[in-house]
């Protein structure tokens, strides 16, 4: 169960900070990336979730996953970002939490592309919390669960506390700050992911496959030619096409 220290903001903050301090990040991650991953992992542990991601929108307005609790979470977040819709998109636009407990039953009518993209991953509930300071919107903290279980009010409050801590870390003046106070390396990563997502959408339409198959084909093409995924994406955006699918 979620740790209990009362319902005061300072109590929730202490719970969240304790969970983040207890979480371990992958050893090769740099300081900012490691801190954001610990926020994701702390939220997963405290809120009884399976996966979590932090998505940031910058420059082009296209979102990209900059931290995740694990590889599965990263894949789920990437599929959601590539779909261009979903709880995270709505939470970012409205600057309000979007809490979708029955994703398959109630979410398909709102976000058919998103639900179709992530359902095979086992996601059955998605909770998107906006990262913002006043009118300045940065992105979202996204939580994913296999079970269709409603969040209790105390859990919603704690999730928002994790979102506040993620926002603080993104805007930390110790970062290599650039436009909007965000780390310039983070902005570059977002732009690179934006190119990959655009190319992924083009492959999906061109070859009549879903988003997961599109990125798999792009990765296979990159591997076969000893190129990076970004190189293949830029070729596609310049007008080249992936070879057609071979008959089964």
pLDDT of residue 248: 45
Residue 53: per-residue pLDDT:
97
Confidence (pLDDT) at 179:
45
The Cα 164–Cα 160 span in angstroms is 6
Determine the Cα–Cα distance for residues 169 and 180; give it in Å rounded to an integer.
13
pLDDT of residue 154: 94
Q: What residue spans define the domains of the chain?
A: 9-176, 185-237
Q: Are 36 and 169 in contact (CB under 8 A)?
A: yes
According to the model, what pLDDT value does residue 62 have?
61
Helix (H, G, I), strand (E, B) or coil at 157: helix
The pLDDT averaged over each successive group of 10 residues in the chain (248 residues) is 61 94 92 92 97 80 82 90 88 94 95 91 96 84 96 95 93 58 61 76 84 80 82 90 66
185-237: CATH number: 1.10.10
200: tokens are: 């992924």
Per-residue model confidence (pLDDT) at position 64:
81
**The pLDDT value given to residue 105:** 95
CB atoms inside a 10 Å sphere around CB 154:
14
CATH class of 9-176: alpha beta
């Amino acid at each position: 169960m979620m740790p209990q220290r009362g319902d005061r903001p300072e109590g929730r903050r202490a719970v969240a900070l304790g969970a983040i301090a207890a979480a371990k990040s992958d050893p090769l991650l740099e300081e900012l990336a490691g801190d954001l991953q610990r926020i994701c992992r702390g939220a997963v542990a405290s809120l009884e979730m399976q996966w979590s991601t932090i998505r940031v929108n910058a420059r082009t307005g296209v979102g990209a996953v900059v931290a995740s609790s694990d590889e599965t979470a990263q894949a789920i977040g990437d599929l959601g970002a590539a779909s261009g819709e979903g709880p995270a998109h709505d939470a970012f636009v409205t600057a309000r939490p979007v809490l979708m407990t029955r994703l398959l039953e109630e979410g398909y009518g709102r976000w058919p592309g998103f639900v179709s993209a992530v359902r095979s991953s086992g996601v059955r509930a998605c909770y998107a919390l906006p990262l913002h300071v006043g009118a300045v919107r940065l992105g979202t903290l996204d939580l994913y669960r296999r079970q269709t279980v409603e969040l209790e009010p105390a859990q919603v409050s704690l999730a928002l506390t994790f979102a506040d801590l993620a926002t603080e870390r993104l805007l930390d003046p110790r970062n290599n700050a650039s436009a909007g106070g965000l780390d310039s390396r983070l902005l570059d990563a977002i732009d690179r992911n934006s190119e990959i997502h655009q190319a992924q959408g083009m492959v999906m339409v061109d070859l009549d496959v879903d988003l997961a198959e599109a990125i798999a084909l792009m990765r296979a093409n990159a591997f076969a030619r000893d190129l990076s995924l970004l190189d293949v994406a830029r070729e596609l955006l310049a007008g080249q096409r992936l070879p057609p699918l071979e008959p089964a």
